[in-house]
Structure 1
Amino acid sequence: MKAVHYLIAEDEPLLARALAAHLAELWAEAQCVGVAANGAEALTLIDRLQPDVVFLDVRMPVCDGLQTARELCERARPPLIVFVTAYDEYALPAFDTAAIDYLLKPVEPERLARCISRLKQRLSAPEPAPALDALALALKGLLEKPEVTEPLRFIRIGVGNSVRMIPVEQVLYFEACDKYVTVATASSDGLIRTSLRELMAALDPRQFWQIHRGTLVNVAGISHAEQDEAGRTHLKLKGRAEKLPVSRQFAHLFRQM
């Protein structure tokens, strides 16, 4: 059987390396032939390397994933397309309608394993890339959606009769507590009355990762990750004394690459 070749298009090097590491572990018989930093670079590499599968980030500079996929759909034999996206599930019914797959960031190994199983079935079929007309229609619908709003830039915290404006990049982590969320910076903590779910929808998923059911962490604020004797992962943050526990569901994000 012909070896399967795949290409990753992702503008965040850390996320690209993480996806490549998971694919190498879960799909050992397949081979990564290249990593592109944007859609234009991906199209060039696809022309040269002819991969069977392309993992496309939806939001990339120069040429985003949707535009890249639209161009691929116009070719005689395009690769199978898997979108890697930070969109919430409300924006994704068209992907399933088009008989393709998608992965939500941060990519979880269990979900990736199901994606690989689906890809194997499609690749073993006589015609491995059907439903291209449906894919084109699905992409058209997504491209016509209103532009996604910019990620949250400031957190407003009430202090007595005043309001503190904290730049999001200064926040080290958010932690849910009853009806409030703790906003932790290197120098102080504050409370905001919102849900972690609402915050996740407003924050840049490349900057803030969920590490526990009630915790989001600023990736740039992580000093290092360590494991205790029981194998549990904890994060040490810059400028903070405490260590944040990472649930087993998200521990794969901090494995050594």
Structure 2
Amino acid sequence: MTDALPALTLLLVDDEAPARARIKELLQDIAAELPTRVVGEAADGEEALALIQHLRPDVALVDIRMPKMDGLELARHLAGLPQPPALIFATAYDTHAVQAFDLNAVDYLLKPVRAARLQAALEKARLVGPLTTERLTKLRQDAGQGPRRHFSCHERGRILLVPVQEVLYLKADLKYVTARTREREYLLDEALTHLEQEFAERFIRLHRSVLVAKDALSGFERGQGDGEDGGEHWLALLKEVPEKLPVSRRQWSHVKQYAK
């Protein structure tokens, strides 16, 4: 019987406090049929990620549109956790738009949320279980989501968020990519080619192993010795760090337009 099951632990994620209060009222209405326990609340994706890593809820009920980090970007970062929660989105999109998100991996609630629909989604989440890499890939394809605002960095057993706007360059090294900000470096477990496609508006390729933020470039200078292509080559100069990045001969014709 359902009442013999342990209570589902929930995190409510919505930038509007009344919306979170509404969900708590509905949870009380269905408590006899489906016991739940709200272990935390968050007003944006950044706060939610921190709470999820700390509280480890069974289910995260997440609004799609939020400031700082929306629900879809939060889902991308959650997939990197060893034990991510099951994920249910809440959305104000119309029925036709919601159909584009109708995946077996997660569920979607159309606002205003109704008690019966919430119960069905939670029961589905219990059966489906946590978000996986395969489900995330399908979610990204169906959602048509644009570039993220943050990179995910695994460090000391936790996920750190690195704002994309703070990254000056990305450099591939073996199986990892180094993301350099003004303060420090972070290791990303991602492919440079995928990052180039996702962030084409912000980064430009200098070299087969280096992408640089266009607005981080301060100029170029000639380098001596053997470059990637042999002989004299160009080096990119950056505004906020002393590193000089190599520019391949193949990329120079495209990159030189950014010379100050």
Greater radius of gyration (CA): 2
